[in-house]
Structure 1
């Protein structure tokens, strides 16, 4: 039936019912369908893709066939030792071992039997590079860019990327595209590449009303959706699940569509992939530290209500995670339509020369080139009565022009709207900048003096910024002597505010290695599964490398889809 809107009635009997249409839900549906099951996906919103569609799309799965493309040698033993060192007893080792086995199998099957294609980057290091067993590349893979036009009408059901991650009003770009666009007037090859990119986007806008060339998370979702539809999976959008009941051999799912209720039955199982507790007000207060982030970049449909239903059926939350979520610093800006843009600061600015972060005392509190997860942990650790929440990301005219700052792209053009709405603060002198930000002027001036000295020596005496392969990789490789340290001398000076934000749940429902839900006694709750952010993370609230949300999501979706399909009558 393809994608079904709320006006169309649904068949009532299925082998497998999947709740949620992000990467985890789509993957689970694909794997169940590959086993011959009749599968339906129930998606609460009118878009498919969840938060996965908004993400960078990195998938951390060691020892796929793509690892060899990078020339970096790896093994299951090395990856396991790395995870042991990073995660320790914060998650069961049996779950991590299952992930290392399932992940490569899942990728191999997707590429052999569906339209999904991945690639490795020649340089994409683990974040905790200081640990034994870390690698510079090969573990993080990403979906190849995808022609969304092949989805036909279903293209319009894919959740669009964050507007702030696009150019020209909706053109998706990845790191390759950005590199060429920045060299548009300096390289003939980049000029031709960029003209082709923009021309393709213009044609797509005429044909489809949106960009159809998908990259990053949109490419992953687009490829998974195409594969699911080709396999006969039904995707019901605007379908709000209100209850799950029945016995292990015939789970029933009650849903509300177009104001009416309907009950579906699954003989194989029901797979929860609804996105975790991201927007559940009570869970946020229970799990997140104070101050609880006011805004989240998670997709709007991730309300966490599936957790309430699962808990009533005997499911339990996992324990032992170092952090309840995976963090990233965010800047915020009100869009013209009144919605709040929540922009994650991954690697584009924090690690660049001439850019640094301070608290209200005007002094640094963190190694800015550390991972985004550890950055926010440091924000909370240093916060005393609002000392570092928000934090202030500072640069000068040269830094802003060369690297941009948050939502402000390199070049330093068209700053007036950002200054007018307060997203960006500008001042001709450091004391004036401190006054406008209400931070300590002496602390800020002394910090800048220190950073200018570090820029000359290449050594950050306070936080050792730029001392690992991962940190240097996020800097400017052309800048010497340290790619992450540069002077801040050229007025005017600029700053934006950074807040904590979460990009995925570490706390989720407890499962076994087949992704089956477990009760408080460790017994299987028959016919119920969880994957993605609905499942307790195997990473234990630690962030070892890029894509550690999506990698396990796909691996355990593989386990859930196969197992549920195998139970069907």
Structure 2
């Protein structure tokens, strides 16, 4: 028998999306719970993400009068994923469990004081499939004031949009003058919720966008005058969850890595951690939930399961190194979907290696006047669509032709009209010379000259561009059907006439920038059942052990149905695990 140094009802390893949700369920029924986080801050990669949750048939859709149902969502996932033995954790029973319980999870955390929002400006990623929705199924955090966390305000992980917005970008004044006074007129994007951030690139294109910026400016000014520390997206969501957990007296411990899971009679009954430099054994009376991330920063595991991918391209937290996943595997847990990732196509601009959150390129290459080509100059996939499918396509193409990096090819209008490299529309042009000097961006007066700079056959690249321009003239991408889904409309330019995702590449100068298949984390792990219990390789349950988040093989299998398809399941299966542990399931 094991001797223990302390005992609690339930233990949670890791502090990502589903951890605090599970803890709140335990506290709601009066059970003790401890969250053990090996990092010095809480929130996991969820805090770094957009913080969206893909929740069909949720309460906010109903309030907005958007029709949805369990049946419609089941139809969508059945058509998108189906039952594939290569993805055992994405079976129909688990998908139905997710679709049924996710709205209840949202109701639960809302009752705990978590404030959520939605926007219609976010369709499903495969909205043309039966059951797909143009009305957003994704929900996200309202803005949150970190000051509400008191002494915990500096113990929440870093958000995915840290940079300020220069208010001068909204004024029709010379760039030199903007630079001169810009430091006096900046607002943090934390003053916007995620839906507002998505509309930010279009602020000059409509009165609705302009009025949104006025509202955001007023919020920022109010916050500035009152000393608030506004955050949004993933850090806003996790900030709200942390506040709820602190109010519920959840025991949260940082710098508390778990070294071992303790078994008695084939059942997981506790963990070994460290206290004051010595092993510390904690008993879990009702079970242990693992939500400790995947293996995004474990290059050896990447080489084994996702060859060609690089940890250096990932925006996951640095502590996402796979130890708990390996521990469960060593104990006999079955794993699956290990080749999958939550993709985030990115670009290695100056300072890339020092950027904890890599710049996203999805909304760049999907805009008019831009295409993606491999290193031979050939276009090989649609430049919009799901970011996970996009990055998977890049790795797949690399087995046929060099594609890491691939190249975004675009003309002057892309920089003039749309965001690039974190710059507001029209502002990236002022960074081109510096980017060129750093060897990052290429510029030329002709497509042929541009091809020579990136060491590809000029005739091939010219033919690729001319073929694409022909598609633009006809309004149909005959090769990859870009712009045929509502999601492509959203990624493209919704204010453009005709196909909103297509625009010719014809106005010099022409540019090239490298694109890499980055990620927000891995998407494979231990296989769990409908109650989030970890399964052995023979299909039996590992009693006392639950898992959620990217420590598990995802319920979506190889697909990413919509915004928040990893965070939503993390919360939901954390909720399911806790309810099962206390006998509510």
Please name the residue that 1:100 is paired with: 99
Is contact 1:43-1:240 (8 Å) kept?
Answer: yes
Please name the residue that 1:402 is paired with: 417
The CA deviation at 1:136 is: 0.8
The CA deviation at 1:267 is: 0.9
Matched, 1:306 2:306: no
Please name the residue that 1:491 is paired with: 508
Please name the residue that 2:381 is paired with: 366
Which digits, 9 at most, give the CA deviation of each residue in 1:245-303, with x for residues without a partner? 14277722111356443222211111100012222333212211335564311111111
Matched, 1:379 2:394: yes
Is contact 2:45-2:317 (8 Å) kept?
Answer: yes
TM-score by length of 2: 0.87
CA distance in 1, matches of 2:205, 2:216: 10
Matches within 5 A, 1:184-333: 189=211, 192-200=214-222, 202=224, 207=227, 212-247=229-264, 251-257=269-275, 259-290=277-308, 292=310, 294-318=312-336, 321=337, 323-333=339-349
Is contact 1:512-1:518 (8 Å) kept?
Answer: yes
SS in 2 for 1:344: coil
CA distance in 2, matches of 1:423, 1:161: 26
Is contact 2:419-2:425 (8 Å) kept?
Answer: yes
Is contact 2:16-2:293 (8 Å) kept?
Answer: yes
Please name the residue that 2:170 is paired with: none
The CA deviation at 1:69 is: 3.2
SS in 2 for 1:528: strand
Is contact 2:201-2:425 (8 Å) kept?
Answer: no
Is contact 1:253-1:264 (8 Å) kept?
Answer: yes
Is contact 2:270-2:281 (8 Å) kept?
Answer: yes
CA distance in 1, matches of 2:492, 2:205: 23
Is contact 1:72-1:135 (8 Å) kept?
Answer: no
Seen in structure 2, the aligned counterparts of structure 1 residues 254 and 81 have a Cα distance that, compared at 3 Å, is same
Seen in structure 2, the aligned counterparts of structure 1 residues 170 and 419 have a Cα distance that, compared at 3 Å, is farther
Matches within 5 A, 1:63-82: 63-82=57-76
Which digits, 9 at most, give the CA deviation of each residue in 1:34-56, with x for residues without a partner? 22211111111111111111111
Is contact 1:70-1:122 (8 Å) kept?
Answer: no
Q: Which deviates the most, 308-317 or 183-192?
A: 183-192
Is contact 1:334-1:341 (8 Å) kept?
Answer: no
Matched, 1:26 2:20: yes
CA distance in 2, matches of 1:426, 1:468: 32
Q: Which deviates the most, 425-434 or 538-547?
A: 425-434
Please name the residue that 2:532 is paired with: 515
Question: Among 87, 96, 99, which residue is 2:81 paired with?
Answer: 87
Matched, 1:537 2:554: yes
Q: Which deviates the most, 168-177 or 456-465?
A: 168-177
SS in 2 for 1:332: coil
SS in 1 for 2:435: helix
SS in 2 for 1:454: helix
The CA deviation at 1:130 is: 2.5
Matches within 5 A, 1:40-59: 40-59=34-53
Matches within 5 A, 1:469-488: 469-488=486-505
CA distance in 2, matches of 1:553, 1:191: 32
CA distance in 1, matches of 2:573, 2:145: 27
The CA deviation at 1:556 is: 0.6
CA distance in 2, matches of 1:417, 1:340: 22
Question: Among 323, 348, 364, which residue is 1:349 paired with?
Answer: 364
Matches within 5 A, 1:108-119: 108-112=107-111, 114-119=112-117
The CA deviation at 1:395 is: 1.5
SS in 1 for 2:285: strand
Please name the residue that 1:176 is paired with: 196
Is contact 1:368-1:375 (8 Å) kept?
Answer: yes
SS in 2 for 1:353: coil
The CA deviation at 1:88 is: 1.0
TM-score by length of 1: 0.89
Which digits, 9 at most, give the CA deviation of each residue in 1:73-113, with x for residues without a partner? 2211121121111111132211111112211111111112x
Q: Which deviates the most, 222-231 or 407-416?
A: 407-416
Is contact 1:332-1:340 (8 Å) kept?
Answer: no
The CA deviation at 1:213 is: 1.2
The CA deviation at 1:361 is: 2.1
The CA deviation at 1:496 is: 1.4
* Number of matched pairs: 549
Is contact 1:70-1:137 (8 Å) kept?
Answer: no
CA distance in 1, matches of 2:441, 2:223: 30
Please name the residue that 1:139 is paired with: 137
CA distance in 1, matches of 2:268, 2:24: 21
Please name the residue that 1:5 is paired with: none
The CA deviation at 1:342 is: 2.1
Alignment gaps of 5+ in structure 1 = 1-9
CA distance in 2, matches of 1:189, 1:468: 28
Matched, 1:450 2:467: yes
Is contact 1:45-1:237 (8 Å) kept?
Answer: yes
CA distance in 2, matches of 1:551, 1:166: 28
Seen in structure 2, the aligned counterparts of structure 1 residues 431 and 341 have a Cα distance that, compared at 3 Å, is farther
Aligned CA RMSD, in angstroms, stands at: 2.7
The CA deviation at 1:203 is: 5.1
CA distance in 2, matches of 1:261, 1:396: 60
CA distance in 1, matches of 2:117, 2:212: 22
Is contact 1:66-1:119 (8 Å) kept?
Answer: yes
Matched, 1:39 2:56: no
Please name the residue that 2:172 is paired with: none
CA distance in 2, matches of 1:525, 1:340: 35
Is contact 2:125-2:487 (8 Å) kept?
Answer: yes
CA distance in 2, matches of 1:180, 1:316: 44
